[in-house]
């Protein structure tokens, strides 16, 4: 048996806080501790999309500790994600939302130039 929490922790390469997953489950009305094999594909996919969006909204650098003494340095923990990583996460989430007819956060802006008139 794999719980939905274990499944969600395993789908991204980020450290995800338990309260973030709990919030996703509450919003999707999924019982905490539910066996992932008992959930329908739509629910599982939408929880995953919500997690992708959570990851995309976190700070780019998290939880690193660095010590130094002269030439000696030690760095521990932490993660770093680029704008490219976050853009990909948002795109994967939006693809899932679109598949199931949910509103996406992407927008297309078209700029039309009418030129500059000189007088």
pLDDT digits (tens, 9 = 90+) for 81-112: 566 678 899 999 999 999 999 976 555 555 56
Please provide the average confidence, as pLDDT, over all residues in the chain.
82
Is 36 domain-assigned? yes
The region of weakest confidence among 12-16, 46-50, 88-92, 114-118 is 114-118
- 20 or 78, higher pLDDT: 20
96 burial level (CB within 10 Å; 0-12, 13-18, 19+): buried
Angle between helices 41-56 and 18-27 (to 10 degrees): 130
Is 110 domain-assigned? no
Is 19 domain-assigned? yes
Give how many domains the chain has, as a whole number. Answer: 1
Is 73 domain-assigned? no
Is 71 domain-assigned? no
Is 112 domain-assigned? no
Domain that holds residue 14: 4-59+79-99
The strand ranges marked E within 19-78 are: 61-62, 65-69, 72-76
């Amino acid at each position: 048996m794999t719980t939905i929490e274990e499944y969600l922790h395993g789908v991204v390469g980020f450290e995800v806080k338990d309260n973030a997953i709990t919030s996703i489950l509450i919003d999707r009305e999924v019982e905490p501790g539910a066996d992932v094999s008992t959930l329908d594909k739509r629910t599982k996919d939408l929880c995953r999309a919500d997690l992708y969006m959570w990851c995309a909204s976190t700070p780019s650098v998290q939880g690193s500790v660095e010590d130094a003494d002269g030439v000696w340095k030690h760095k521990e923990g932490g993660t770093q994600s680029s704008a490219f990583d976050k853009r990909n996460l948002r795109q994967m989430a939006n693809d899932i939302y679109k598949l199931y007819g949910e509103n996406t956060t992407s927008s297309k802006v078209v700029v039309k130039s009418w030129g500059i008139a000189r007088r």
